[in-house]
Amino acid sequence: MTNLPDMAGAAAEITLGDKTYLMRPLSIDEIAQFERWVDDAPIRQAVRNLGGLSAELRIELLRQAQETAQKASLQSPEIRQERITAQMSSMNGICYLIWLSLRREQPELTQEEVAQRLTMESLPYVQERLDSINGFSSPSPKRVSKKAPRKARPRRKSR
């Protein structure tokens, strides 16, 4: 059964690690921000690789990354949408979208904190919550989990 916040696209509580947060539906501006984030990926990658390069090589690497990002934003709508949709399913994309949904209510929360609190066990639960409050799609039966993942219990020593 779908609960009212999911049906209404209203805010919903989610649990990441040992903390509970309020997740809001993404605004048009936040979706546009995600699209820019996808387009700007070559620039972020170039920045990560600048260390140890000469000034000339750094400038050239950044120029090429800027050109690649600009070309990406000018692709046909179908190709660009396919690329953006693919990023929505990537680990980095999911973390970024979750962070965008959480930051209005928790402005101090960083993208890195969200990534650190997500686990492979909690990912289906959090992704389903993100999908449902934003009306992205009907989640597959394998992804649906209304409960927060259980905390790990200490293992008993075998005798």
**Given this model, what pLDDT does residue 135 score?**
84
Which residue stretches of the chain have pLDDT < 50?
1-8, 138-147, 152
Q: What gap in Å lies between CA 155 and CA 157, rounded to an integer?
A: 6
Asked whether the beta carbons of 11 and 5 are under 8 A apart, the reply is yes
What does the radius of gyration of the chain's CA atoms come to, in whole angstroms?
19
pLDDT tens track for 124-150: 888 888 888 988 764 443 443 444 555
Give the global pTM.
Answer: 0.74
**What stretches of 40-122 show up as alpha helix (H) in DSSP?**
41-48, 55-73, 77-88, 91-103, 111-117
**Given this model, what pLDDT does residue 78 score?**
93
pLDDT tens track for 75-91: 899 999 999 999 998 88
**Given this model, what pLDDT does residue 151 score?**
53
Q: What gap in Å lies between CA 32 and CA 16, rounded to an integer?
A: 25
